[in-house]
Amino acid sequence: MDLNRIPGNEGFRRINFLFQAAIEIFNRSPKIAQLYIKDMRLIAEKLVLRLDPSLKREFCKKCSYLLTHLPKQTQCLGSRLYATTVCPSCKYIKKIKIN
């Protein structure tokens, strides 16, 4: 199967490149990493591609700040368990369902 003929493949390559570049540059400049993630989301929006859920968990949905390096806390809200991370840039609390 020719990988170049898969629809949206070029877009996924650019998304993957930008995400890896953001992780690489984060320690030197978090602002540039944030710009890369914003570009990545824009490409996905323009080409109508869905980002993988595992990828979406790695950044803040309000300001695109990279959250990979931050510790996650487990919290019980109602009857469900969540892993929560507070975004240092916009103070948004990201909740990920565990069970």
Nearer to Zn ion, 47 or 55 (CB): 55
Minimum separation from the CB atom of position 95 to Zn ion (A): 13
Which residues does residue 82 pair with via DSSP β-bridges, in sequence order? 75, 97
x-or-dash string of contact with Zn ion, 53-72, rule CB under 5 A: -------x-xx-x-------
* Strands, E assignment, the chain: 73-77, 80-86, 93-97
Least Å distance between CB 92 and Zn ion?
5
Helices 9-25, 30-46: axis angle to 10 degrees equals 170
Place of tokens 């914003």: 38
How far apart are the C-alpha atoms of 88 and 32, rounded to whole Å?
15
Count residues near Zn ion (CB under 5 A): 8
Min CB(24)–Zn ion separation in Å:
20
| Binding region for Zn ion (CB under 5 A) | 60, 62-63, 65, 87, 89-90, 92
